[in-house]
Amino acid sequence: MFTIKSPKTLPPKLLSLKNKGKKIGFVPTMGYLHDGHISLVRKARKECDVVVVSMFVNPTQFGPNEDFKKYPRDTKKDKIILLKEKVDYLFLPSKETMYRKKHSVYVEEHRMTKILCGKFRPGHFRGVLTIVAKLFQIVQPSRAYFGQKDLQQAYLISKMVDDLNMPVQIIICPIIREESGLAMSSRNTYLSESEKHRALSIRKGLDQVITLVKKGRKDITLLKKEGSKTVKKGCDNLQYFEIIELPNFTMPRRIEKGKRYAVLCAAFVSQTRLIDNRIFKG
Ligand code: AMP
């Protein structure tokens, strides 16, 4: 595995591979890898000739009162994991090379970012879309892999690629969970055992909506009310519990047969903000 730090060094290396007809698969991450990240790497390894993973804790997607400084980092351990997974290139840029002093161009989306996480984390998706667009320019992948865990992010990236004619295929991979059902996240490291237990109420609330839908309940207000009640039993502060229709993230009033939906939740357990979701069919 080659570790490359400079955004200028990586493109010519990858371009020469691309010119030889190699398919480049890309997995962008913020590091502190867990099985969720690894599932994306494995899928890329299976489907592509060359696998590139980036690790960069992107400052522009964190709000002023968020956890940029304390976000967990362990590059040494991450490198061992990526070596084992037979990754070809690790891109490990610095903050200074990714955002030079005079950086002033950003990517913004003006519809889907107004709801859910976008509403509670102003500027977050502007930071995400900007860094992903920059990384796509540097890596020029054929395919890029994202987790359903960050559903709104994955759909926004698909929208960016579509709207801005970026020549990359976006692959959305399933959520990997701990045995308990808790969605894996680098931020789970902030949680004590009892907090992890309380966090399970998020998954329970999402499951409850799907059970009710299977029983024939169609009224969104009722579904949201029941699901949020369950989440609140374990969590300290529920930011949102919403049901949206896929793929456009529109807010339906009733569940209709054959359509695809997602139920999404963001809630705090003590100081830790957690997100999770499930996709289902009407
Ligand atoms: P992050 O390092 O948190 O920015 O995540 C990097 C990528 O891994 C994103 O596409 C995430 O959606 C994905 N990811 C994070 N957690 C999980 C998980 N539990 N299951 C599947 N993918 C995940």
20: phi then psi, degrees, rounded to nearest 5: -85, 5
Residue pair 268/243 in contact (Cβ under 8 Å)? The answer is no
The finding on whether 30 has its CB within 6 A of some atom of ligand 1 is: yes
CA distance 257 to 74: 46
Check residue 37 and give its pLDDT.
Answer: 98
Say if residue 252 is preceded by a cis peptide, omega within 30 of 0.
no
Laid out side by side, the sheet with 24-29 consists of 2-4, 89-91, 50-55, 24-29, 143-147, 169-173
From the alpha carbon of 185, which atom of ligand 1 is closest?
A: 16
From the alpha carbon of 55, which atom of ligand 1 is closest?
A: 2
| All residues at 6 or more sequence positions from 57 whose CB lies less than 8 Å from its CB, including other chains | 30, 31, 68, 71, 73
Check residue 32 and give its pLDDT.
Answer: 98
The finding on whether 39 has its CB within 6 A of some atom of ligand 1 is: yes
Amino acid at the residue 260: R
The finding on whether 205 has its CB within 6 A of some atom of ligand 1 is: no
Check residue 182 and give its pLDDT.
Answer: 98
| All residues at 6 or more sequence positions from 224 whose CB lies less than 8 Å from its CB, including other chains | 209, 241, 242, 243
* Residue-level pLDDT, tens digit, the chain, 282 residues: 999 999 999 999 999 999 999 999 999 999 999 999 999 999 999 999 999 999 999 999 999 999 999 999 999 999 999 999 999 999 999 999 999 999 999 999 999 999 999 999 999 999 999 999 999 999 999 999 999 999 999 999 999 999 999 999 999 999 999 999 999 999 999 999 999 999 999 999 999 999 999 999 999 999 999 999 999 999 999 999 999 999 999 999 999 999 999 999 999 999 999 999 999 999
Check residue 189 and give its pLDDT.
Answer: 96
The finding on whether 7 has its CB within 6 A of some atom of ligand 1 is: no
Buried b (16+ CB within 10 A) or exposed e, 260-271: ebbbbbbbebee
Amino acid at the residue 89: Y
Nearest C-alpha neighbor of 200 from the set 267, 271, 118, 251: 267
CA distance 223 to 212: 7
Check residue 53 and give its pLDDT.
Answer: 99
CA 6 to ligand 1 center in whole angstroms = 24
Residue pair 27/37 in contact (Cβ under 8 Å)? The answer is yes
Check residue 58 and give its pLDDT.
Answer: 98
First and final CA of the chain: distance in angstroms? 45
The finding on whether 61 has its CB within 6 A of some atom of ligand 1 is: no
The finding on whether 55 has its CB within 6 A of some atom of ligand 1 is: no
Residue pair 143/162 in contact (Cβ under 8 Å)? The answer is no
pTM of the shown model: 0.97
Residue with tokens 């494995």: 42
Helix ranges restricted to H, 140-219: 151-163, 193-214
Q: Encoding tokens for residue 66?
A: 């968020």
Catalytic residues: 37
Check residue 235 and give its pLDDT.
Answer: 97
Nearest C-alpha neighbor of 116 from the set 267, 222, 252: 267
Best probe residue, ligand 1, of 150, 152, 158, 179 (max atoms within 8 Å of C-beta)? 150
Residue nearest to atom 11 of ligand 1 (CA): 147
